[in-house]
Amino acid sequence: IVMTQSPLSLPVTPGEPASISCRSSQSLLHSNGNNYLDWYLQKPGQSPQLLIYLGSNRASGVPDRFSGSGSGTDFTLKISRVEAEDVGIYYCVHALKNPFTFGPGTKVDIK
């Protein structure tokens, strides 16, 4: 399964919304109704942290300004109001079956 993201670079203004798209070459929708797509943020100098799992579920401790949506092959991560601490590289990854492939990453920084 090939994962693509767009854009690859996203300059943002604090307080403004931001959106990242992730597409998979095969459907990530399982017959159980789950979309096996996760989102991670890797802040500068840190390990990746889970933001969204199964397409739309916020991980524990993740601010509600982050939301995930989509189904099948098209997914979106939205930040309702960007804060300075949200800079870093955002990765989508599928969890359907091995091999587990990550998207190339979207670098978000402040304008």
Residues that bind another protein (CB under 8 A): 30, 32, 34, 36, 38, 40, 42, 47-50, 53-54, 59, 89, 91, 93, 95-105
Task: Please count the other Cβ atoms lying within 10 Å of the Cβ belonging to residue 60.
Answer: 5
Which three-class secondary structure state does DSSP give residue 31?
coil
Smallest gap from residue 17 Cβ to another protein (A): 25
Choice between 2 and 81, CB closer to another protein: 2
CB 40 within 8 A of CB 7: no
DSSP letters, 45-83, are: TS--EEEEETTTEEPTT--TTEEEEEETTEEEEEESS--
Choice between 65 and 95, CB closer to another protein: 95
Choice between 72 and 80, CB closer to another protein: 72
How many whole angstroms separate alpha carbon 104 and alpha carbon 91? 7
Choice between 10 and 89, CB closer to another protein: 89
Smallest gap from residue 98 Cβ to another protein (A): 4
